[in-house]
Chains A and B, each alone.
Chain A
């Protein structure tokens, strides 16, 4: 009996072209678009400031400073003041007077965070130019000290070792996008599941099955299993998109650092949660239009709250707290733990259990509602 019911559900889903688009194509496109679109938000590689430098000092140090700027890919030196975003003026006697300041004129369109970034990168070159000048001056007095100072290299990369969330791996846009849109796509089973469910109720096939001694439990479980399988395929396909397709668009590939067992456990738990909420919507909706509308809105809301659209780490603290109410957030956090922190099963167990509990409670509630509906004759 189970085999027949599962086969029936598969046939109905795979004949619904819109459902297939929503389940497989939509999340894949989102992963691709968001990974490429957000690529620059996670790296400084593409930053480039145009600047014009006016050198009133023309000293050894100012020339050294100019050379350092010119060799930095983040700066584009121009010879036309009007074409520059930043105009840096090196004052006269800049080399001789240690406390003299560079003056920076900024074009109106430049935002404050860009000014701060510009200052931070320029600071590295100012410091190195001053250090080189110091080395030259000290060399005459003490060649030994000069040698020690000369070995000093001051740059952001040599001064800090950055770790993210206790991991040496810093997230890239793909690692942020893939879990978010996998989770979103998995919860999209709300649409086909509830549509088929409502149609079965409308066509009296559920009542007919009930008259054939098919229990509510058997109906619910046999409906859930196909979606559990579909969800696992979704995860595999989306991981494939992250690993193989995204790099074709000059964007970092997805790297899975953690345990594959943990990944599987999260995927199954997420699926149980998605099946639970989908069943609940399906049995509560009066029509397939209502199910599609409520299901779609709920999915988007859970996604927005859960950190699908906007990564959780850039949200303000209060919003980050709010994300904890969304089961999508539990899933995304667990996926990120695997991708970024090399998490094993025990590290994601808490989130896995929360998702399963949520799914089972929703499923039981939906069975209760279905039982009442059948008794009432729908």
Chain B
């Protein structure tokens, strides 16, 4: 289990993480959601021992990261957002190098190659690989040390849908090996597809942590979306608009909102309760569009 308690990290005057607390269950696929600059990468860097926190505590499988970073690194792995391998080396040379650096076992090497379907491109120079193949190599390197926990930092950025699905399917497989996965992505549908649980972070703070199922069905939300026909009056009424023709309101304020619409001749098209998917829910609770 990964236990994060009151974690704080600042860069000069800016707080990247602000008293953040989280718990990630062993063997789960855990999604981290947040807009750019929300603190996801900072959190992953601390979890991976690349940077140190200002205050707070992180325990990974019972080990304190402040004291046992080296031990934790031995059984954890990070798959960085940017491709972290040598473009001028072949696939095999890259895998051999990173395997020897970590003293990886042959069976782990073979497993990483198999899961990521790299055998057929073994002798190819990394610079000549397609976007999807590069991503797979990037992931395979992270599997060489047979990690108990893997941190994925937006691993599907800039690749075609087919490769993305292959990668997502392979990540789902890690559960079968008992690996804990912490996954950050800009793509909500990916989180929906592979994650058991999600934490939403905004301005370095935890906004919500829940199972994907709970968030999608939105059991705890009283949000209501009122879709209307466009009218100039909408601007004057100063509604909370999530789009040009959608009013965002609470269930308790719905009657008042509908009365106002009627009074100003704004035609109602549809009323929907809660969010219909994770993306809507995310937008509802963070109030931003740039994800």
Q: Do A205 and B49 touch across chains, with their CB atoms under 8 A apart?
A: no
Q: Do B86 and A203 touch across chains, with their CB atoms under 8 A apart?
A: yes
Q: Do A4 and B96 touch across chains, with their CB atoms under 8 A apart?
A: yes
Q: A377 is contacted by which of B50, B85, B97, B102 (Cβ under 8 Å)? A: B50
A210 at the interface (CB under 8 A from B): yes
Q: A204 is contacted by which of B70, B77, B80, B97 (Cβ under 8 Å)? A: B80
Instruction: Pick from B19-27, B87-95, B208-216, B269-277 the stretch touching chain A.
Output: B87-95
A63 at the interface (CB under 8 A from B): no
Q: Do A212 and B73 touch across chains, with their CB atoms under 8 A apart?
A: yes
Chain A residues with CB below 8 A from B96, complex form? 4
Q: Do B87 and A203 touch across chains, with their CB atoms under 8 A apart?
A: yes
Chain A residues with CB below 8 A from B80, complex form? 204, 207-208
B83 at the interface (CB under 8 A from A): yes
Chain A residues with CB below 8 A from B8, complex form? none
In the complex where A1-B103, A213-B70 touch, is A12 in contact with B85 (Cβ < 8 A)? no
Number of interface residues of A (CB under 8 A): 27
Q: Do A208 and B88 touch across chains, with their CB atoms under 8 A apart?
A: no
Q: Do B102 and A212 touch across chains, with their CB atoms under 8 A apart?
A: yes
Q: Do B50 and A207 touch across chains, with their CB atoms under 8 A apart?
A: yes
CB distance from B224 to the nearest CB of A (A): 42
Near B by CB (< 8 A), chain A positions 1-26 give 1, 3-5, 7-8, 11-12, 15-16
Interface centre among A7, A203, A212, A375 (most CB of B within 10 A): A212
Q: B84 is contacted by which of A5, A7, A16, A208 (Cβ under 8 Å)? A: A208
Chain B residues with CB below 8 A from A3, complex form? 100
Interface bits B76-119 vs A (CB < 8 Å: 1, else 0): 01101011111111000100111011110000000000000000
Interface bits B21-58 vs A (CB < 8 Å: 1, else 0): 00000000000000000000000010011111000000
CB distance from A218 to the nearest CB of B (A): 9
Q: Do A203 and B84 touch across chains, with their CB atoms under 8 A apart?
A: yes
A209 at the interface (CB under 8 A from B): yes
Q: Do A213 and B74 touch across chains, with their CB atoms under 8 A apart?
A: yes
**A375 — nearest CB in chain B belongs to which residue?**
B51
B145 at the interface (CB under 8 A from A): yes
Q: A8 is contacted by which of B73, B84, B97 (Cβ under 8 Å)? A: B97
A37 at the interface (CB under 8 A from B): no
Q: B50 is contacted by which of A5, A12, A211 (Cβ under 8 Å)? A: A211
Chain B residues with CB below 8 A from A162, complex form? none
Q: Do A212 and B86 touch across chains, with their CB atoms under 8 A apart?
A: no
Known: A12-B86, A203-B84, A208-B141. 8 other contacts (CB 8 A): A204-B82, A205-B86, A207-B50, A208-B98, A211-B78, A213-B70, A375-B51, A377-B51
Listed in ascending order, the chain A residues whose CB lies under 8 Å from chain B are 1, 3-5, 7-8, 11-12, 15-16, 199-200, 203-205, 207-214, 374-377
Q: Give 9 closest A-B pairs by Cβ, nearest first.
A: A4-B100, A204-B84, A208-B84, A213-B73, A8-B97, A204-B82, A15-B88, A204-B80, A205-B84
Give 9 pairs: A residue, B residue, CB < 8 Å, sorted on A: A1-B100, A1-B103, A203-B84, A203-B86, A208-B98, A211-B49, A212-B145, A213-B70, A375-B51
